[in-house]
Amino acid sequence: MTRNGLYRFVVAASLAGYIFLGYLLWIGFPDDGHDIQVCLFKKVTGIPCPSCGATHSIVSLIHGDISGAVMENPLGILLASCLLVFPFWILMDWMKKEVRFYKFYLRTEALLRRKYVAIPAIMMLLINWIWNIYKGL
């Protein structure tokens, strides 16, 4: 992926995430019973995916409930961190005419290709997936 393509994708995804979270908070999610299911995998199979519950997790974080966020889906904490940091990192790169975020992406991608990192990461995702199924998300 090119630098500009990556930056456009991350900014667009972050903006979509902010708009979706804003909408959910505006309608009162999750306290008043609104249940907006956006997971295509769950709609098709009836089984939650590894990331199901991540939105609930982020909303719990916004409300200051860290333990609730972890219980909903630990990936939500990682996603929330990315939503907070990545757009501003890209903005700083753009303002300073640097490519630090792109270099970080390339290093991370290379690291994830190594078996000693990839296998534990896959195992953690599988454990999270089993946890989501067990919770009945």
Mean pLDDT per 10-residue run, the chain (137 residues)? 92 92 74 60 85 85 90 90 94 94 96 95 92 84
pLDDT score at 55: 83
Question: Distance (Å, rounded) from C-alpha 115 to C-alpha 17?
Answer: 31
**pLDDT given at position 120:** 95
Residue 32 has what pLDDT? 45
Q: How many domains does one find in the chain?
A: 1
Inter-residue long-range contacts of 72-77, CB under 8 Å, 24+ positions, other chains counted: 73/128, 73/132, 74/128, 75/50, 75/51, 75/128
Structural domain including 54 reads 3-135
Q: Which pLDDT score is estimated for 35?
A: 57
3-class DSSP state of 33: coil
